[in-house]
């Protein structure tokens, strides 16, 4: 069989040829493909001309594979079956949410809240996969191939949409040991949250800066200073007598908003939109 020099493949011819072989005749292949017998015959003839070989031996009562036909059928039959399966899968997915979702969340995002939201969603939509990345960096939706991001501030510019999904209270916490040694704990936090080196001027007086509340809490528990934390992070330690809530340091806002950020509503897929709604509902729940 000589190789064709054409750059494209005759898919219709291959489909017709495989149908004739599997159905046993041109007429049966036409019924399977919902095509006239003459169209099936013409497509097989065009494929043979394109390849420069005879694929089928025709008689008035039957068709049979030639040696070249057997070789060609062995080459393309599995590919045709794969295409058919892909088509069936595509049709099935058209009526159900399917595909991948890439989500970026802050390092200290509550794992129990996120875990509950994801568990419910994947149970309801078994064809959806979710890839979660934790970090506090500015999200590049294109370079990072990110669908959704949860952040504590609205994005700058006009290339992203921010949807406020929750608010939380900040509070200052210190250990009893540290408070015994310091008379004015509210003046400046010794421990400060920082999103990066750009926050240097704002947090210059802090002894320790970190981009994770978990570390600041650990330092406060060990008597290293006052840490400003989301209230729900420090509250359990107050209940256990490990920390004491004190007045917020000067200049610290008592409340912050949480935003769900994404590139565009118009380009959002159905699965991403559905997960965004589910995540918003989970965060809004008491």
DSSP string of 165-233, one letter each residue: EEEEEEEEEE-HHHHHH-S-TTSS-SEEE-SSGGGTTTTTT-SEEES-HHHHHHHHHTTS--EEEEHHH
Answer yes or no: is 217 within a domain: yes
pLDDT at 281: 86
Q: Are 231 and 168 in contact (CB under 8 A)?
A: yes
Answer yes or no: is 142 within a domain: yes
Indicate whether 251 pLDDT > 90: no
Q: Does residue 155 sit in the same domain as residue 263?
A: yes
Q: Does residue 24 sit in the same domain as residue 125?
A: no
Instruction: Give residue 167's Cα distance to chain centre.
Output: 24
Q: Does residue 161 sit in the same domain as residue 266?
A: yes
The vertex-8 CA angle with 6 and 9, nearest 5°, equals: 105
Comparison of pLDDT for 67 and 194, the residue scoring more: 67
Domain count of the fold of the chain: 3
Indicate whether 119 pLDDT > 80: yes
Q: Does residue 125 sit in the same domain as residue 153?
A: yes
pTM of the model: 0.57
- Is residue 99 classed as helix, strand or coil in its secondary structure? strand
Q: Does residue 130 sit in the same domain as residue 15?
A: no
Residue 236 φ then ψ, to 5°: -60, -35
Answer yes or no: is 4 within a domain: no
Q: Does residue 243 sit in the same domain as residue 261?
A: no
Answer yes or no: is 6 within a domain: no
Q: Does residue 154 sit in the same domain as residue 176?
A: no
How, if at all, do strands 208-210 and 191-193 pair?
parallel
| Separation CA 51–CA 61 (nearest Å) | 25
Q: Does residue 250 sit in the same domain as residue 265?
A: no
Q: Does residue 269 sit in the same domain as residue 240?
A: no
Q: Are 213 and 193 in contact (CB under 8 A)?
A: yes
Instruction: Taking residues 20-41, report their average pLDDT.
Output: 88
Q: Does residue 174 sit in the same domain as residue 250?
A: yes
Among 90, 111, 140, the domain boundary falls at 90
How, if at all, do strands 148-151 and 99-105 pair?
parallel
Among 24, 57, 90, the domain boundary falls at 90
Q: Does residue 154 sit in the same domain as residue 261?
A: yes
Answer yes or no: is 5 within a domain: no
Which CATH number belongs to the domain containing residue 42 in this structure?
1.10.10.10
Instruction: Taking residues 242-262, report their average pLDDT.
Output: 85
pLDDT band, very low/low/confident/very high, at 143 (cuts 50, 70, 90): confident
pLDDT at 133: 93
Which CATH number belongs to the domain containing residue 247 in this structure?
3.40.190.10
Q: Pick from 75, 54, 89: which is nearest to 9 by CA?
A: 75
Q: Are 165 and 259 in contact (CB under 8 A)?
A: yes
Q: Does residue 134 sit in the same domain as residue 154?
A: yes
User: What pLDDT digit, counting tens, does each position of 203-216 carry?
Assistant: 446 778 888 888 99
User: What pLDDT digit, counting tens, does each position of 37-63 carry?
Assistant: 899 999 999 999 999 999 999 887 788
Q: Which domain holds residue 154?
A: 99-165+257-284
Q: Which residues contact 216 (CB under 8 A, 6 or more apart)?
A: 191, 192, 193, 208, 210, 227, 228, 229
| Separation CA 147–CA 145 (nearest Å) | 7
The vertex-138 CA angle with 136 and 142, nearest 5°, equals: 125
| Separation CA 38–CA 211 (nearest Å) | 71
Answer yes or no: is 53 within a domain: yes
């Amino acid at each position: 069989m000589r190789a064709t020099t054409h750059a494209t493949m005759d898919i219709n011819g291959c489909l017709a040829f495989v149908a004739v072989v599997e159905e046993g005749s041109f007429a049966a292949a036409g019924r399977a493909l919902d095509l006239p017998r003459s169209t099936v015959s013409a497509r097989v003839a065009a494929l043979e001309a394109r390849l420069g070989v005879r694929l089928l031996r025709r008689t008035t009562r039957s068709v049979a594979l030639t040696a070249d036909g057997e070789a060609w059928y062995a080459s393309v039959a599995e590919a045709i079956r794969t295409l058919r399966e892909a088509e069936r899968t595509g049709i099935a997915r058209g009526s159900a949410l399917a595909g991948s979702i890439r989500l970026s969340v802050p390092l200290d995002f509550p794992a129990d809240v996120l875990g509950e939201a994801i568990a419910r969603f994947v149970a309801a939509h078994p064809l959806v996969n979710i890839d979660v990345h934790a970090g506090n960096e500015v999200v590049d939706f294109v370079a990072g191939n990110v669908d959704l991001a949860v952040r504590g501030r609205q994005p700058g510019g006009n290339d992203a949409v921010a949807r406020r999904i929750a608010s939380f209270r900040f509070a200052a916490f210190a250990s009893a040991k540290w408070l015994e040694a310091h008379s004015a704990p509210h003046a400046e936090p010794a421990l400060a949250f920082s999103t990066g080196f750009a926050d240097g001027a704002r947090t210059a007086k802090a002894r320790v800066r970190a981009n994770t509340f978990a570390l600041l809490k650990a330092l406060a528990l060990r008597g290293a200073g006052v840490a400003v934390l989301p209230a729900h992070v420090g509250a359990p330690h107050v209940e256990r007598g490990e920390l004491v809530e004190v007045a917020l340091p000067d200049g610290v806002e008592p409340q912050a908003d949480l935003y769900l950020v994404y590139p565009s509503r118009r380009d959002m897929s159905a699965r991403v939109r559905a997960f965004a709604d589910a995540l918003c509902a989970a965060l809004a729940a008491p």
